[in-house]
């Protein structure tokens, strides 16, 4: 027999001024199953909670309804009070007669009537509540970081330094990401390599970090605290354990004219190569598609050269399965292909390049050893035109968003050019100068005032070649007249876009993405590093265009979230999850397809001899998030959702 206690809160005057709380309490006390009904000024206060606890103990209440504010406000408060009085905390419902009644109505009679109905329907619901226990899930206290750019490296180091194991997975032969390609970084003009490479070394030498380069995540299974990840370690054809990184093989490799991706095609590499001199790990890989031996079955010069016999042409891809408790996704970005701007001549004219090309030209370790040279003839350019927003903020041709870093790196490029070519001239076509960030506006001012960067507000309509020069036609919108500039080189500040396979990868690991393919955070403001999938976190430019400081900050934030998760051996979760009735499940698998979390599997029921007698749906409590979509989908009424069962809701509706 149900014994329900109803506690009507005045909330000072907030409720009592619009709802006749006395009438509410006396009406509800006559409702079947209600053992006590009382009112008080503030039930959320200490004495208020004591009243609730005392009533539970003295009357042996089986359920509690607090008619007060929104459950979003004080559900936890009263759940705790119930638990302290020995009642299961889930035997509580809050009747929202403040936010959704007294505050929004003006007629006391009608508001009181409504409050009575709300309370009554929740009394009917709470009668059908069940004792629930928070779910305990064990946590594997090892993290995986996907992506070895600056964000991934930072997250890995932070987690590892706090004493937890990390597996850092990078698909390129070396960690470092885009930052390794940069020359100097704004707003301090630190050399990018100089600040990044020590971090790369720290990551690979850290006792708690296992770095897996030339490896890709194939499959993620499981749920928060308990992921199983399959990683494909691509064959390097070089023995990682024995190779010393002496580089003799690279020297002797006869295939020398392969355009290097790392150098954006401005430099060449060999078939056995490391992407750059400071690569970590410093172990080369053989490019199977370009290697003479793999193509013709003859050569093996590298193998003959190697004095420690580290070349292994027989090596195969290896699949490793790793158990982790949390995943940090730091897969980064790519530069948008600017070919869609045919009028800018990218791809047609060698001297129309992207910002990333310019980084390589300006880098001391780049193909020109830091000298600014035209790709077409190797001459020093006398005049460079920079075109900002080449793709960004262009709904018609490019992407709608601002890529955030281009204003800053263009100013930096103009500065670096001014420092290297003293008589050189720059012209920067821009829409706005967006320089928000610590030291950023000062930086762009410096470019203009000290390094004489020539900013022209306006767009470029056409770039074409004439007598070995590039003619840039555009408009100066401040002066309101067309301009034509003769330049030696044009640099496009291309948009940052998601990795080409970003959407496929998101589907593979089960996280959300936006219209472009940037990964979705759980809440843009309040949960910016979590994904909607518990246990998977984000950092860096895979979430949105970001500069280095933001990527690093977000990486540390993601690491903090991971460490928070790892602070306990068990994870406690709300018990609002679905469960299947084996006896009625017909095995139509409608729920399996409906579940957004892949939390429902097919399970065999066997007899004592091990023969399968029935297959039923089975909910994984670790994965289930409790949305209830499967319950509604179920044709045979075999699934129910704890806390929101069919019985509870029908009772609630019928009492209204």
Partner 1 sequence: MSEPFEPKIVAFVCTYCTYAGADLAGTSRMKYAPNVRIVRLPCTGRISPMFILKALQKGADGVLVSGCHPGDCHFAQGNYHARRRWTVFRALLAFTGIPEERVKFSWVSAAEGAKFTELINGITDSIRALGPFEQYQELQKVIETQSTY
Shortest reach from residue 135's CB to partner 1, in Å: 15
CB 55 within 8 A of CB 5: yes
Stretch that binds partner 1, among 105-113, 177-185, 275-283, 347-355 (CB under 8 A): 105-113
Pairing of strands 272-273, 285-286: antiparallel
Shortest reach from residue 113's CB to partner 1, in Å: 8
**DSSP string covering 574-633:** ----EEE-TTT-----HHHHH-TT--EEEEEEE-TTS-EEEEEEEE-TTT-----HHHHH
Residue 481 phi/psi, 5-degree rounding, is -145, 155
Shortest reach from residue 327's CB to partner 1, in Å: 17
**Run of H or E residues at 360:** helix 355-362
For tokens 């971090």, the residue is 199
Residue 61 phi/psi, 5-degree rounding, is -60, 145
Stretch that binds partner 1, among 47-55, 104-112, 191-199, 241-249 (CB under 8 A): 104-112
Is residue 175 a contact residue for partner 1 (CB under 8 A)? no
Paired with 335 in beta bridges are 496
Q: Please list, in sequence order, all residues whose beta carbon lies within 8 angstroms of the beta carbon of residue 129, skipping any fewer than 6 positions away.
A: 63, 90, 91, 92, 93, 643, 648
- Closest to partner 1 by CB, 421 vs 594, is 594
Is residue 516 a contact residue for partner 1 (CB under 8 A)? no
Stretch that binds partner 1, among 169-177, 262-270, 388-396, 629-637 (CB under 8 A): 629-637
Chain centre to alpha carbon of residue 73: 29
Return the residues of window 61-90 that contact partner 1 according to CB under 8 A.
Answer: 70-72
Is residue 110 a contact residue for partner 1 (CB under 8 A)? yes
Residue 415, exposed/middle/buried by CB under 10 A (0-12, 13-18, 19+)?
buried
Q: One symbol per residue from 331 to 370: x for binding partner 1 (CB under 8 A), - otherwise; what is it? A: ----------------------------------------
Which DSSP category does 346 fall into? Answer: B
Q: Which of 33, 370, 512, 528 binds partner 1 (CB under 8 A)?
A: 512
Q: Which of 246, 448, 588, 649 binds partner 1 (CB under 8 A)?
A: 649
Q: Which of 20, 84, 99, 382 binds partner 1 (CB under 8 A)?
A: 99
Paired with 280 in beta bridges are none
Output Rg (C-alpha) for the chain, integer angstroms: 32
Stretch that binds partner 1, among 176-184, 228-236, 317-325, 645-653 (CB under 8 A): 645-653
d(CA 523, CA 510): 17
Shortest reach from residue 105's CB to partner 1, in Å: 5
Q: Which of 87, 311, 565, 627 binds partner 1 (CB under 8 A)?
A: 627
Closest to 74 (Cα-Cα) out of 61, 93, 91: 93
- Closest to partner 1 by CB, 608 vs 635, is 635
d(CA 493, CA 383): 17
Return the residues of window 553-592 that contact partner 1 according to CB under 8 A.
Answer: 576
Closest to 288 (Cα-Cα) out of 238, 218, 251: 238
Shortest reach from residue 103's CB to partner 1, in Å: 4
Paired with 223 in beta bridges are 226
Q: Which of 594, 614, 620, 647 binds partner 1 (CB under 8 A)?
A: 594
Shortest reach from residue 42's CB to partner 1, in Å: 18
- Closest to partner 1 by CB, 438 vs 635, is 635
Strands (E), 496-587: 496-498, 536-538, 570-573, 578-580
Return the residues of window 116-145 that contact partner 1 according to CB under 8 A.
Answer: 117-118, 121
Shortest reach from residue 525's CB to partner 1, in Å: 11
Residue 98 phi/psi, 5-degree rounding, is -105, -75
Q: Which of 38, 100, 136, 292 binds partner 1 (CB under 8 A)?
A: 100
Shortest reach from residue 422's CB to partner 1, in Å: 53
Is residue 534 a contact residue for partner 1 (CB under 8 A)? no
Pairing of strands 268-269, 258-259: antiparallel
Q: Which of 64, 111, 286, 497 binds partner 1 (CB under 8 A)?
A: 111
Shortest reach from residue 395's CB to partner 1, in Å: 18
d(CA 150, CA 555): 9
- Closest to partner 1 by CB, 52 vs 641, is 641
Shortest reach from residue 124's CB to partner 1, in Å: 11
Return the residues of window 176-205 that contact partner 1 according to CB under 8 A.
Answer: none
Stretch that binds partner 1, among 140-148, 209-217, 308-316, 637-645 (CB under 8 A): 637-645
Size, binding site for partner 1 by CB under 8 A: 44
Q: Which of 26, 59, 104, 369 binds partner 1 (CB under 8 A)?
A: 104
Tokens of 78: 């009263």
Which DSSP category does 252 fall into? Answer: H
| 3-state class (DSSP) for residue 438 | coil
d(CA 99, CA 96): 6
| 3-state class (DSSP) for residue 475 | strand
Stretch that binds partner 1, among 107-115, 266-274, 484-492, 615-623 (CB under 8 A): 107-115
CB 566 within 8 A of CB 558: no
- Closest to partner 1 by CB, 396 vs 654, is 654
d(CA 167, CA 27): 62
CB 68 within 8 A of CB 98: yes
Shortest reach from residue 643's CB to partner 1, in Å: 8
Shortest reach from residue 137's CB to partner 1, in Å: 19
Q: Which of 208, 365, 376, 629 binds partner 1 (CB under 8 A)?
A: 629
Shortest reach from residue 500's CB to partner 1, in Å: 23
Residues that bind partner 1 (CB under 8 A): 70-72, 96, 98-101, 103-107, 110-111, 113-114, 117-118, 121, 512, 532, 576, 594, 596-597, 625-629, 631-633, 641, 643-644, 646, 649-650, 652-654, 656
């Amino acid at each position: 027999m149900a014994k329900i206690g109803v506690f009507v809160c005045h909330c000072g005057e907030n409720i009592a001024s619009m709802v006749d709380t006395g009438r509410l309490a006396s009406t509800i006390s006559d409702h079947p199953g209600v053992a006590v009904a009382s009112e008080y000024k503030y039930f959320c206060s200490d004495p208020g909670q004591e009243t609730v606890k005392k009533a539970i103990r003295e009357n042996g209440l089986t359920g509690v309804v607090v008619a007060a504010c929104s459950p979003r406000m004080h559900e936890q408060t009263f759940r705790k009070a119930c638990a302290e009085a020995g009642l299961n905390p889930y035997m509580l419902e809050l009747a929202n007669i403040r936010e959704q009644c007294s505050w929004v109505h003006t007629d006391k009679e009608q508001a009181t009537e409504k409050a009575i109905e709300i309370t009554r329907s929740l009394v009917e619901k709470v009668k059908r509540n069940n004792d629930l226990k928070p779910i305990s899930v064990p946590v594997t206290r090892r993290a995986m970081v996907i992506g070895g750019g600056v964000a991934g490296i930072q997250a890995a180091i932070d987690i590892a330094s706090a004493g937890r194991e990390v597996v850092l997975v990078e698909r390129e032969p070396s960690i470092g990401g885009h930052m390794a390609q940069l020359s100097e970084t704004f707003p301090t003009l630190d050399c990018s390599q100089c600040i990044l490479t020590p971090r790369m070394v720290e990551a690979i030498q850290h006792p708690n970090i296992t770095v897996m380069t030339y490896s890709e995540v194939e499959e993620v299974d499981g749920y928060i605290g308990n992921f199983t990840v399959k990683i494909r370690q691509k064959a390097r054809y070089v023995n990682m354990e024995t190779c010393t990184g002496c580089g003799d093989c690279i020297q002797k490799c006869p295939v020398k004219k392969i355009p290097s991706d790392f150098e954006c095609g401005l430099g060449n590499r060999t078939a056995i190569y490391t992407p750059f001199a400071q690569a970590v790990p410093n172990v080369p890989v053989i490019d199977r598609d370009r290697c003479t031996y793999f193509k013709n079955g003859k050569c093996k010069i590298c193998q003959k050269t190697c004095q420690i016999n580290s070349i292994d042409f027989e090596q195969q891809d290896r699949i490793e399965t790793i158990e982790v408790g949390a995943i940090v996704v730091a897969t980064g970005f790519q530069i948008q292909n600017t070919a869609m701007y045919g009028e800018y001549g990218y791809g047609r004219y060698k001297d129309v390049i992207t910002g990333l090309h310019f980084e390589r030209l300006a880098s001391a370790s780049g193909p020109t050893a830091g000298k600014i040279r035209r790709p077409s003839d190797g001459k020093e350019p006398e005049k460079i035109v920079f075109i900002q927003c080449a793709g960004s903020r262009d709904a018609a041709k490019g992407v709608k968003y601002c890529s955030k870093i281009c204003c800053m790196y263009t100013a930096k490029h103009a500065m670096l050019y001014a420092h290297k070519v003293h008589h050189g001239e720059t012209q920067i076509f821009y829409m706005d100068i967006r320089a928000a960030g610590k030291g950023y506006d000062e930086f762009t001012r410096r470019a203009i005032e000290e390094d004489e960067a020539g900013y022209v507000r306006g767009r470029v309509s056409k770039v074409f070649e004439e007598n070995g020069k590039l003619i840039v036609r555009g408009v100066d919108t401040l002066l309101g007249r067309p301009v034509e500039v003769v330049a030696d080189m044009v640099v496009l500040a291309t948009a940052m876009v998601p990795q080409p396979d970003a959407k496929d990868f998101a589907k593979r690991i089960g996280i959300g993405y936006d219209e472009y393919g940037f990964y979705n955070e759980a809440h843009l403001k309040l949960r910016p590093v979590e994904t909607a999938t518990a246990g998977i976190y984000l950092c860096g430019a895979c979430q949105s265009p970001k500069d280095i400081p933001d990527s690093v900050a977000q990486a540390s934030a993601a690491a903090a979230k991971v460490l928070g998760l790892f602070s306990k051996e068990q994870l406690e979760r709300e018990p609002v999850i679905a469960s299947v009735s084996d006896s009625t499940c017909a095995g139509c698998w409608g729920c399996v397809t409906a579940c957004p979390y892949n939390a429902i599997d097919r399970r065999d029921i066997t007899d004592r001899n091990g023969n399968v007698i029935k297959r039923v749906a089975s909910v994984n409590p670790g994965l289930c998030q409790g949305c209830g979509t499967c319950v509604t989908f179920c044709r045979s009424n075999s699934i129910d959702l704890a806390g929101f069962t069919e019985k509870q809701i029908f009772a609630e509706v019928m009492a209204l």
